[in-house]
Every structure is written in structure tokens, then in C-alpha cells.
Structure 1
Amino acid sequence: MSEKRAQILTTALRLFVTNGFHATPTSQIAKESGVATGTLFHHFKTKEELINTLYLETKEEMIQSLSIKVDEQETIKGKLRQIFFNAIHWSVAHPEHQLFYSQYSNSPFITNLTRELGYRRFQFIYDILKLGQEKEILKPINIDLMFEAIDGTLMGITKYLLTHPEKITDELCLENAFTLYWDTLKG
């Protein structure tokens, strides 16, 4: 990725999270990125393309973090526990990305195609959920519904931790949070 493109994405992330999509003109993104408006439009044809690219790249970064050491876990619960704690660590380490993800996951600015491409990146989690159901460890409910339930639970827990930073290192709090997450899933 070119340095200018990366700077545009970093600036857009900060401005979209702070000001919202409509209150962030491309001229402001270009100016605060230190590039000409023409350079911004060279990399992203429209503001909508910019936000969709940012959405997919945020998801890609998240997925890379979520998948760390998951394959090393032997049980369904262990795999989901690893994903849970990976998600918490990623969110705490990348609060702007987490806020962007939570603000724009259901936004009309994200195209259906982009949303579908984003969900495909989570396929490994869907596979774990399906295997857990086949082994009768997890609830026998629609996988999409189950995924949305755990995604919502994770977003809520993450929001709580980001607004109560002293809890991020509180092992009892984190274990209780995982129990809440696991109880959403287990059969």
C-alpha cells in the first residue's frame, strides 16, 4: 500500500469516527492527510469507495487478529475462547478501528457487496460454530443468528471495557465476560 493511500485511510478513519460520514468532506480528509484532493480521488473514486475500502481493511485487520492461535486449541470452547480474547485484545489495541466497525457495520454507506465480502472473512468462525452444532456442543439455531448474537455480545463487552479501562486487566471481569459470551452459544 502506498504511503499516501495509507495516510488517507488513517485520516479518514479518525474523521469518520469523530465527525461521522456526512460531516467529513473529502477536502478535509485530503487536507489533514497532507495530500491534494486529486490524489485522494486517484486512490478512491468516491467518498463511498473510501469508506467501503476502510471497512474491508478494518475487517481484514480484525480477522488476522481473531485467528491467532485458534488452530492450536483442541476444543470448540477453547477455539471460541481464543477468538473472544483475541477480539478483546484487538479492540483495546485499536479503539478507533473498533469504534469505526461498531458505527459502520450496519451503515447504509457500506454496500451490500462490501458487507458480503466482509462476512466471508469470518468464514472460519462460521465453520467452528457449525462444527460445534454438529457435535451438539452449541445451540441448534441458525448460524447467522448465532453469529450476530456473539458479535453483538462482543461489541457490548468491548464498549464496556473501553469505557471502563481499569477492567481491561481485571481477570475476574474478563472471565465473567467470557462466561456471558459462552452462555450465548452453548447448547
Structure 2
Amino acid sequence: MAQSGSDTRQRILKAALTHFAVSGYHGVSVPSIAKDANVSIGSLYNHFESKDALVNTLYFEWKTVLKRYYIEGYPAEASIREQFNFIWFKLHSYADDHPEAFRFIENHMHGHYLQKHCFELEEEIFEIGRMFVRAGQEQGAIASCSPQIVVSIFFGAFVQYFKDCNAGRATWNLETSLFIKEACWKGFSTSP
């Protein structure tokens, strides 16, 4: 039975995700992706015109999934504290559900090879966090500071925890994640 084009494309994306997550953009060769996807190099190039096109497609797809995690069911009418809990839980859930994808997008988010549409999506996602911070500041629940700095505090803490777990310096679990969430909240909120 012949493989469909979409099956081939998905195998290529799956193999590419693994390679890029582990070895980074510059440590990956197109032939190694094709080999692990069990396709010819020519077949890979029929689906993606270049390694750049492949990494951009992968990045955009996984960032889109992350954005959906944040916006689906967002409790806009809830308290700022509950909104923060939601954002953190969604970030944790995404990393828990898709650890390889999270490692990939974090390792590549500043890549010179990413195209404009990838950076625009990145900004849309950061804007979700900044909107939460601005709303909290308007209500007096979050300290007066640049919204991006506040986002950097909690997002950076989460990413470092994830990286420490991958390096074997910490253990990945919800209890530790929630401890870090509370430490972040205490750091930028105006009340405990």
C-alpha cells in the first residue's frame, strides 16, 4: 500500500522534531532527517524546499499548538491570581504533553533562520502574557514594572526548571512546578 503525501510529511516532521530538539539547527543534516523518516532526500525536498523551510514549518506548527493551549478556555473574567494559575498550568501541561516540542521551540526561539511569521507568532504569544500583566497592574494586583519583564520572570523560571529537569538537575513533577509558580507570584504580585 502506498503512503500518502501527508503521512510522509508527518514522518518527516516527527523525525525533524527529534533531531532539532536534540542537536539544534546547525547540528542536524537533511540526510539524517530523511533517513529517520524513512524517506529519500528527494522526497523530503518535495515536501520542504530547504532545511530552513522545514525548521520554520515545525516551529510555527508547535508554537501554534502552544498558543491554543493558552487561549482555549482562558478565564478572562476570573481573578488575576486565577488567570496566572491558568497560564502556568497550561504552560506546564504543554511541556508535559509535548516535551520534545517544548525543548525544540525553546532552543530555536531566537534562531536567525526563523522567518518573520514565526517571530510574529512568538510576539502574539508573549502578548497574551503581557495582556494578563497589564490587567493585573490596572487592578493593583501586579507590581508596576514592564509587562515583558514580569512575563520574563515567570516564563524564564519555568523554562529554566524544564531545562534543569532535562539536564538531570531537577525532577519534573507538578508539585515542584507549582512551588516555582508560587515563588514567581510572590515576586511580582502586590499581595501574597
TM-score normalised by the chain length of structure 1 = 0.85
Q: 1:149 deviation in Å? A: 2.5
- Which residue identity does 2:180 align to in structure 1? A
Identity %: 23
Query: 2:92, 2:177 within 8 Å by CA — same for their partners in 1?
Result: no
Matched, 1:11 2:15: yes
Matched, 1:53 2:57: yes
Which of residues 69, 74, 80 in structure 2 aligns to 1:76? 80
User: 1:22-71, CA deviations, whole angstroms, 9 ceiling, x for partnerless residues?
Assistant: 22111221221122222222222211121122111111112222335432
Q: Distance in 1 between matches of 2:48 and 2:154?
A: 33
Matched, 1:41 2:30: no
Q: Distance in 2 between matches of 1:63 and 1:27?
A: 31
Q: Distance in 1 between matches of 2:87 and 2:184?
A: 11
Q: What is the match of residue 175 of structure 1?
A: 178
Query: 1:69, 1:82 within 8 Å by CA — same for their partners in 2?
Result: no
TM-score normalised by the chain length of structure 2 = 0.83
Q: 1:128 deviation in Å? A: 1.6
Q: CA RMSD in A?
A: 2.3
Distance 1:184 1:107, change over 3 A: farther
Q: Distance in 2 between matches of 1:71 and 1:18?
A: 35
Query: 2:136, 2:142 within 8 Å by CA — same for their partners in 1?
Result: yes
Q: Distance in 2 between matches of 1:150 and 1:158?
A: 12
Matched, 1:101 2:105: yes
- Which residue identity does 1:176 align to in structure 2? F
Give unpaired runs (5+ residues) of structure 2: none
Query: 1:14, 1:96 within 8 Å by CA — same for their partners in 2?
Result: yes
Which of residues 138, 141, 154 in structure 2 aligns to 1:137? 141
Q: What is the match of residue 151 of structure 2?
A: 147
Query: 2:56, 2:118 within 8 Å by CA — same for their partners in 1?
Result: yes
Q: Distance in 1 between matches of 2:77 and 2:139?
A: 16
Stretch deviating more after TM superposition (69-78 or 129-138) = 69-78
Query: 1:76, 1:128 within 8 Å by CA — same for their partners in 2?
Result: yes
Q: Distance in 2 between matches of 1:14 and 1:52?
A: 15
Distance 1:151 1:174, change over 3 A: closer
Q: 1:15 deviation in Å? A: 0.7
Q: 1:183 deviation in Å? A: 2.6
Give unpaired runs (5+ residues) of structure 1: none
- Which residue identity does 2:29 align to in structure 1? P
Residue 75 of structure 2 aligns to a residue whose secondary structure is: helix
